[in-house]
Amino acid sequence: MNHENQISDAIERVLLDEDAIAARVSRLAAEISEAYAGVEYGQDGLVLVGVLKGAFVFLADLARQLAVPHHVDFIALSSYNRSTSSGEVRLIMDSRINVADRHVLIVEDIVDTGHTLDYLQRTFQARNPASLRSCVFLSKPARREVPVSIDYLGFEIPDVWVVGYGLDFADRYRTLPFIGALKEKIYKS
Ligand code: PRP
């Protein structure tokens, strides 16, 4: 099967197409630019911290539309055991920029149970930033186990397995340009 057929065989339906995503990301970038207006590069500047791997697409689109100067950094995390939803988060690669006294904006692709964002918020708060906010592309409120605050949200979605725009299933489908719901036969096989 060629790549195109593999994709249409795996995707049940498109939840958010490229135009819907682009329009929402532009609005978020405008909102964030307004909120951080006046912030400059440097020791008290704005640092976007993208959470690998999922956030790389969203962060790239968002950052390129920001009208304020900012630094970009990444952190890589993984859940210890997703199937038991233990909530334990493992740090694979820490961010490099010292965020003390800087404005930190955590950029996530999705908040599901909330354990990852909760871990990030506790971790970065302990590093004494000037401010700490979060920008999340998708949220599945039906799955929440820990309450977390999201300052800038793209979309709320139902509890379906979504892929594309950075989100994966077994590291596949991450670079689809849209958000698609995965067919049950794929994640149950
Ligand atoms: C996903 C996503 C979030 C986290 C959200 O990451 O990117 O970081 O899960 O889930 P939670 O709210 O239940 O904690 P994943 O562990 O799949 O890694 P990936 O981004 O490398 O695909």
CATH code of 180's domain:
3.40.50.2020
Which residue(s) pair with 137 in the sheet? none
User: Which entry of 61, 109, 112, 118 is annotated as an active-site residue?
Assistant: 112
Of residues 80 and 105, more confidently modeled? 105
User: Does pTM top 0.85 for this prediction?
Assistant: yes
- For residue 88, what pLDDT is reported? 87
Of residues 108 and 84, more confidently modeled? 108
Mean pLDDT of all residues in 90-108: 96
Kind of pairing between the strands at 71-79 and 11-16: unpaired
- Assigned domain for 39 exists: no
58-61 contacts at long range (C-beta below 8 A, 24 or more positions apart)? 58/25, 58/107, 58/109, 58/137, 58/154, 58/165, 58/166, 59/107, 61/21, 61/22, 61/25
| Residue 105 contacts residue 49 (beta carbons within 8 Å) | yes
Q: Return the beta strands (E) in 80-144 as ranges.
A: 89-93, 103-111, 131-139
- Site to probe by mutation for ligand 1, drawn from 49, 51, 58, 106 as the one with most ligand atoms within 8 Å of Cβ, is 51
- Which residue range(s) make up the domain with 108? 4-34+45-188
- Assigned domain for 80 exists: yes
At 150-182, the pLDDT tens digits run 999 999 999 999 999 999 999 999 999 999 999
- For residue 81, what pLDDT is reported? 63
Q: Which residues line ligand 1 (CB under 6 A)?
A: 51-54, 78-79, 108-116, 168
- Site to probe by mutation for ligand 1, drawn from 86, 89, 112, 145 as the one with most ligand atoms within 8 Å of Cβ, is 112
- Assigned domain for 155 exists: yes
- Assigned domain for 40 exists: no
At 126-150, the pLDDT tens digits run 999 999 999 999 999 999 999 999 9
- Assigned domain for 116 exists: yes
At 4-13, the pLDDT tens digits run 887 888 999 9
The total of structural domains in the chain comes to 1
- Assigned domain for 51 exists: yes
- Assigned domain for 21 exists: yes
The three state secondary structure string of 99-115 is CCCCEEEEEEEEECCCH
- Assigned domain for 95 exists: yes
